[in-house]
Amino acid sequence: MPRMSLHIRPADPTDVPALVGLITALAEYEKLTHLLQITPEKLQAQLFGARPPAEAVVAELGEGADRCAVGFALFFTNFSTFLCKPGLYLEDLFVLPAHRGAGVGKLLLKHLAALAVERGCGRFEWSVLDWNEPAIRFYEAMGATVMPDWRLCRVTDDALLHLARRG
């Protein structure tokens, strides 16, 4: 059976319904659906409005019309006063359970690390739920440090460059 192509690309307005579905699946996985207030209209405004505060990339499997979204990453620019540089903050990364272990998450992180390097960011960081041991192990394997007091994952300096170039 031929291997399906995996593509990471910036989200566009046509991706909003798929992103809402993936974000809902993430909330279900984290048992946080009671906090979910997302609507297609709200997400459309936040990602594609006049001054979008966030960006997203979509991981798709397949070719042409047969492509389907299997994961996403939503992120924004933050700023480090100590480094006096912008940073890239990953708000959410999610891969549908049926597609985990196939390199989708690694490719999403690599894509964002490369974007952080391209934008001159001093760091790339995110938070992880303390009970999510599979995610913690995955992030550490990708070069992130789980900050014990902050519960933040941070990739900086050589680790950021290494992650951006990881094959």
Tell me the catalytic residues.
139
- Nearest CA to 75 out of 14, 130, 137, 11 is that of 11
Angle value at C-alpha 46, between 15 and 117, nearest 5 degrees: 80
Q: Which two tokens stand for residue 69?
A: 């979204």
**Residue in this structure with the two tokens 């490719």, named with its chain if needed:** 107
Q: How far apart are CA 92 and CA 24, in angstroms?
A: 12
